[in-house]
Amino acid sequence: MKPIATIVPANIEACTGHCQGCGKIHIKIFGAHNASSRLLAERVRLALESSKTDAKVLEIADPLAIEANGIRALPTLMIEGKIVLQGEVPSVTEIARLMKNKDLFQSKLFQLHTLSVGVDMSEVSANALGFAWKIAHKMDCNLEIVYAMDSIFEGTVPSASGFLSSYTKTMQSELDTFITGTMGALGVKYTPPGRFDGEPGGLSEDKNKHPHIASKVIYGAPDVALTEYSRHTDLLVLGATGRGGLGKRLFGSVSIEVSRSAHCPVMFVSKEAEFRGFDNVLYASDFDSLNELSVQQTVSFAERFDAQIHFVHVGPGGEKDLDAQRERFEHSFEASGYNKPFIFSKMVSDDIVGAIYEYAFYHRIELLVFVTHHRAFWDNILHKSVTNEVLSTSNIPILVIHSDGDLA
């Protein structure tokens, strides 16, 4: 099979693969010598021309290259190294939208290959694990259960050796016992494999039916260890105590610190939370959260659950620039291409948390989304009051997105 000839219109150059920093969008079209592949290439050309976008395009028909890129259906469109569609030829308008949203494809929340849950083997973290497993099952991603060990004297089984590796093995055994019991309550049989030194994790029994499951013990203070670990996962789920205080060590002030410093989105799940999908998602809006990429990340996540999105702004009466804020949200939302309309609501109140809860109650909200404009934002109102109070009182799961860092 011969490669398809590369199309090189006026504003497109052939990509050699050695063009980092050129400022152009990198596009690859995987196909065969057939009508659908030619049609996709033509529509990509038209989309680039209509949007006046500079790009480097490479068309590939080599079967070995197609297989190496994990492609399951042709034709396939890849933008900036990410597969954005397979086995179909969208409209020129849709292709232009995909190219405009190219940054979204670098988003961990959009990719979501691995979902991780931090546990301390408490009842709260057991519910967080069950919740995370159901999301992983729904979204067809891997699940990793992580325990942060900050003392070599942890565990119920004494170790015969004082070496850290021996204590790690002890805690790994207890972690796998915890996972086995928790998953068993969900009707899922988890069988840790025989493990040699340095071998991580375990597998669910039925690989075709259940997500791949792995377990891992990491060492260090939970907030520091989990924050560092978050560099290597796409979504981190932690337990939160819900109504009644801060709870155990992992899910009190540690949760706030991890949510502030993590390098991926963080979801908090209370002991009382039950996963039934996310039919209604509330995006808690302030003027600092008007980040187009964050809106698109939220929309892409909500879209997988066919959710209705509510943009809710809480502020004083007579607030200026609210119409401009709505227009910015509308622009970002429309760019995402979601087929459901959004709901935009302004609530007049000085009690941000109370107003959010009131709205959530009457609109059956099942997920709250908070966005940080930049890390220093957490040293302002959201970190010190609103998020802290929400995390310590809410039974509704909370998703924290960092607009300046949750990229792969």
| pTM: predicted TM-score of the whole model, two decimal places | 0.75
pLDDT score for 199: 44
308: domain range? Answer: 280-387
Of the candidates 260, 223, 284, the one whose C-alpha atom is nearest the C-alpha of residue 380 is 260
Question: Do 129 and 122 contact (CB within 8 A), yes or no?
Answer: no
Domain boundary (73, 100, 127) is at 100
Q: Residue 231 falls within a domain, yes or no?
A: yes
Domain count, the chain: 3
pLDDT score for 209: 56
Q: Residue 7 falls within a domain, yes or no?
A: no
pLDDT score for 142: 93
Q: Residue 240 falls within a domain, yes or no?
A: yes
pLDDT score for 330: 83
The burial of 170, by beta-carbon neighbours within 10 Å (0-12 exposed, 13-18 middle, 19 or more buried), is given as buried
Question: Do 90 and 41 contact (CB within 8 A), yes or no?
Answer: no
Q: Taking the CB of residue 65, how many other CB atoms lie within 10 A of it?
A: 14
Q: Residue 221 falls within a domain, yes or no?
A: yes
Residues of the chain with pLDDT under 70: 1-23, 151-165, 193-210, 241-254, 286-290, 373-394, 404-405
Q: Find residue 401's DSSP bridge partners.
A: 371
Phi, psi of 152 (to 5 degrees): -75, 0
Summarised one tens digit per residue, pLDDT across range 138-193 is 998 999 999 998 765 444 444 444 455 677 888 899 999 999 999 999 998 888 86
pLDDT score for 392: 53
Q: Residue 80 falls within a domain, yes or no?
A: yes
Same domain, 259 and 138: yes
Cβ within 8 Å of residue 244, ≥6 positions away: none
Say which DSSP state 63 is in. H
pLDDT score for 207: 44
Q: Is 142 helix (H, G, I), strand (E, B) or coil?
A: strand
Same domain, 284 and 239: no
Q: What is the CATH number of the domain that holds 248?
A: 3.40.50.620
Q: Residue 36 falls within a domain, yes or no?
A: yes
Q: What is d(CA 98, CA 92) in angstroms, rounded to the nearest whole number?
A: 10
* DSSP state string for 336-356: HT-SSPPEEEEEE-S-HHHHH
Q: Residue 396 falls within a domain, yes or no?
A: no
Summarised one tens digit per residue, pLDDT across range 80-136 is 888 888 999 999 988 988 888 778 878 899 889 999 999 999 998 999 999 999 999
